[in-house]
Copies of this chain bind each other. A is one copy, B any other.
Amino acid sequence: MAMVEDRELTLSTEDYSLLTDLYQLTMIACYVGEGLEDKPASFELFVRHFPDKFGYLIAMGLAQALDYLEKLHFTSQQIKALQNTGIFAHAPLKFWSLLESGRFNGDVWAVPEGTAIFANEPLLRVEAPLWQAQLIETYLLNTINYQTLIATKAARLRDVAGQEAVLLEFGTRRAFSPQGSMWAARAAIAGGLDATSNVLAALKLGRKPSGTMAHSLVMAIGAMEGGEDEAFSAFHRYFPAAPLLIDTYDSIAAARRLADKVREGKMELMGVRLDSGDLVELSQKVRSLLPEVTIFASGDLDEWEIARLKEAGASIDGYGLGTKLVTGSPVNGVYKIVEIDGIPTMKQSSKKATYPGRKQIFRSQEKERILSDRLGLAHETPNSNEQPLLELVMQEGKQIKDSPTIETIQKRTQISVASLPSETRQLNNPIPITVKISDGLESLRLSWIASH
């Protein structure tokens, strides 16, 4: 932790207290100087605008956020490293003792992972001493922004591909860092995919890793033993259940030779994968040659391309999803102070105004269909057909519930998506659920503006 380059850039849980923007720490020092550090503050995490015209978001990343909060503390080494930067030369001394002894002991209200939410609805509300609520902004946004993006894409992929399709997460090589690949795998499965090819992620999530084979095997064994067929036979000998990748040279020629073997009883083939070319035409031809075999497709696929393939009559049973699932435009969640010492706060910057006060989402459902949401104040009473979405998940710094399994979250995602109207689920110009503003919240906003 000294001011000398450590190019490994691996992270331990202990490191995470410093995984924050500098200004969180300088602002805390300022709060200490003003005697405000322990004032009770409420911050809310929400998304103003959705990426890529998403009709809904699937909340994800809470588990990692809560783990971070429970473990948060500063080591004396870290404090020394901060002091050595010289940045805090004018900061009050009490700032250092606060960091030394401090842990997170606030409350957290959150929407359960796997729940569909809409613009401006808080996924999370933190109620904690001001300095703690400020410190954690960067990490909370990091975990929730990314996992929410991936879970939402996964839910959309599942919705478009159908419940029967096999959906595999293949994105590790394109993910933004090794840990990015781990979080992507978790959120993808929790959002509706079946499995990941990432061995470490699968094992850490208690799942079986999945995969097929690569062109290099065809090329290597092909070069050494004669050709593509030798590569297929060899791989099939050790992994009889694994799909064979047939597009290294000529997909249809390969499928034809495999079909001969299957017909002659020389091979029990479970699946093939197509990774290039016209997937509609190729999959139909492969189906006619190998009617009993599972056909996988891969290669820059996303929910739009799967919709197009299905529409065009492609005969595909499973999809490998990589690049377009794990990268792209982010979810731009923000984390804003909404109350300090009982006083509601709001921001008026052009196009970035916020609603003041501690809020709750009241959701109206009828026969497992979402009708509308109402954004109100936390103390408001739900109407008879409304359900409050934000639940108390951490009290005085301790998690108060067992965390759900990834299977439970996956199930919740599935139910969430099914409860949305079709116009909210459609890919083209989806229409989000109406989010009404409660009378109480609107009058608080107006009275805040009138008094400022």
Complex interface: stretch among A115-123, A138-146, A411-419, A439-447:
A138-146
Q: Which residues of B contact A217 (CB under 8 A)?
A: 27, 30-31
CB distance from A86 to the nearest CB of B (A): 8
Could you say which residues of chain B place their CB within 8 Å of the CB of A183? 9, 176-177
Contacts of A384 in B (CB 8 A): none
* 0 or 1 for each of A47-89: is its CB under 8 Å from B? (1 = yes): 0000000000000000110010000000000000110011100
Report the count of interface residues on A (CB-CB < 8 A): 138
List, in ascending order, chain B residues with CB within 8 A of A5's CB.
204-206, 405-406
For the complex, give the distance between the alpha carbons of A49 and B271 in Å: 30
Contacts of A25 in B (CB 8 A): 199
Assess the A30–B173 pair: CB atoms within 8 A.
no
Q: Beyond A199-B21, A330-B174, is A26–B138 a contact (Cβ under 8 Å)? A: no
| A87-B208, A177-B182, A199-B82 given; A349·B215 CB < 8 A | yes
With a cutoff of 8 Å between Cβ atoms, the chain B residues found around residue A12 in the complex are 10, 12
Known contacts: A21-B170, A30-B217, A90-B237. The answer to whether A13 contacts B10 by CB under 8 A is yes
The residue in chain B whose Cβ has the minimal distance to the Cβ of A13 is B10
- Nearest residue (CB) in B for A339 is B223
Closest partner residue, chain B, to A215 (CB atom): B347
Write out the residue numbers on chain B whose beta carbons fall within 8 Å of the beta carbon of A67: 7-8
Q: State A91–B238 Cα separation when bound (angstroms).
A: 5
Measured CA separation A43–B214 after assembly (Å): 13
- Decide: B138 and A203 in contact? CB cutoff 8 A: no
Q: Return the chain B residue nearest A197 by Cβ.
A: B21
Q: In the complex, what distance in Å separates the CA atom of A335 from the CA atom of B347?
A: 49
Is A22 touching B141 in the complex (CB atoms < 8 A)? no
Q: How far is the CB of A333 from chain B (nearest CB, A)?
A: 8
Q: Does A352 contact B (CB under 8 A)?
A: yes
Are A209 and B8 in touch, CB under 8 angstroms?
no
Given contact pairs A7-B63, A276-B349, A337 touches B216 in the complex (Cβ within 8 A): yes
Q: Does chain B have a CB within 8 A of A438?
A: no
* Nearest opposing residue in chain B for A15, CB measure: B200
A424 at the interface (CB under 8 A from B): no
Chain B: CB-nearest residue to A150: B176
Q: How far is the CA of A18 from the CA of B208 in the complex (A)?
A: 13
A36 CB within 8 Å of chain B: yes
Q: B36–A224 contact, CB under 8 A? A: yes
